[in-house]
Amino acid sequence: MYGVIRTNGRKSFGPVGIGDQGDEVYTTPHQDIAAVISDSPTIDYKSLTKDVVASYLLAHQSVIERVMKHHTIVPFKFGTTAESDGEIKAIMAQGYPKFTGALKQMHGKIELDVMALWNEDETFKDIAEELEVKRFKEAIKQNPSEQDRVKLGRIVAALLENRRLECAQEILCKLGRLAEDVCVHEAMSDGMIANASLLIYKDREKGLDFEIGELDRRYEGKVNFRCVGPLPPYSFNVIEVKKIGFDTVENARSELKLPQEATQNEVKRSYRRLAREYHPDKNPSPDASAKFQAIQEAYYVLAESRDRDTVHVTRNTDTSKKDFLLIRTLRVENGAYKPQGI
């Protein structure tokens, strides 16, 4: 499963899907939306080498970007599969409110990934001209010790970091004015100033190019800019589908310290109380962060599985123990996908 688009008919995008022969990519409609899918053998991605997984990921993204030329698409998380037409129908029916909401939110928008990197030769020339550096060099020029060299390195590093923060703030502030949303990623190297994804309307792409050109002139070649896109909203809206077993639901109840039967309001109250107790900003315990994440995951499981009119699969012959579909939208936060809507 590659993504969801707005259409009420069956469409084919050609033999471009994941698979050695290139499986046909087509749509399975549900009301006024459709899943973009292809048929393929079951693939256990965990058993494959990184290179092979990367080739499948590239094929997955290539399909999404092909579809994006003609439709707004909200991608499924890489590796999302369904075992049958019935399972696809169940996913589309249960996820319909989330899918239509995400499509409305993303309509007419694209993602552009922007990176700013130092021109290191020019930058270090500038740093060498800083008064603090010149004075320290003058003070140690007669007989600099190893300790002096280490201190000089720290001075240069501190000045460079201050300059990076100022420069990153200016770049993101200027470009962010054109964006509907901004996702800031970690720098991938010491020479990187800023690394961000911008969600913008398609008709603002030229405006963003102009602003990047203005910044390039402003920094007089001391900063190099790279812009990748247009892309689907990988950083802002990705669909995750999980099959949640009865045991997982029971573990989530236990994590939130709930009785066997609990209302949605009771689930929310228990979640908020425990989230406050274990929030890493308030709880200095080294285990607080992991506990906080477990509490969040438990809340999402119960929020999705509670009071469903229909379920996807009945486990064994015990109809009181049922499996559920957990469907949610994700966005990138702190370098990882996190659920939205809490």
pLDDT tens figures, 200-240: 999 999 999 999 998 888 888 788 899 998 999 999 999 98
Average pLDDT (266-278) is 85
Of the pLDDT bands very low, low, confident and very high (cuts 50, 70, 90), residue 317 is: very low
Query: What is the model's pLDDT at position 339?
Result: 67
Domain range holding 250? 243-326
Q: What is the pTM of this model?
A: 0.72
In a domain, 338, yes or no: no
User: In this model, does residue 133 exceed pLDDT 50?
Assistant: yes
In a domain, 201, yes or no: yes
User: In this model, does residue 308 exceed pLDDT 90?
Assistant: no
Average pLDDT (144-162) is 74
In a domain, 254, yes or no: yes
Are the beta carbons of 117 and 192 closer than 8 angstroms? Answer: yes
User: In this model, does residue 319 exceed pLDDT 70?
Assistant: no
In a domain, 284, yes or no: yes
Query: What is the model's pLDDT at position 326?
Result: 78
Average pLDDT (145-168) is 76
Same domain, 114 and 226: yes
CA distance 302 to 249: 7
User: pLDDT tens digits for 50-96?
Assistant: 888 888 888 899 999 999 999 999 999 998 888 888 889 989 998 99
Q: What is the DSSP string of 287-317?
A: THHHHHHHHHHHHHHHHHHTT-S--SEE-TT
In a domain, 33, yes or no: yes
Of 119, 208, 128, 132, the residue nearest 171 (C-alpha):
208
Average pLDDT (138-155) is 73
CA distance 271 to 69: 41
CATH classification at residue 120? 3.30.70
Same domain, 144 and 67: no
Same domain, 22 and 36: yes
Of 111, 116, 74, 105, the residue nearest 204 (C-alpha):
111
In a domain, 333, yes or no: no
Counting the structural domains of the chain, the total is 3
CATH classification at residue 296? 1.10.287.110
In a domain, 317, yes or no: yes
Are the beta carbons of 232 and 71 closer than 8 angstroms? Answer: no
Are the beta carbons of 174 and 215 closer than 8 angstroms? Answer: yes
User: pLDDT tens digits for 14-39?
Assistant: 888 886 666 889 999 999 999 999 98
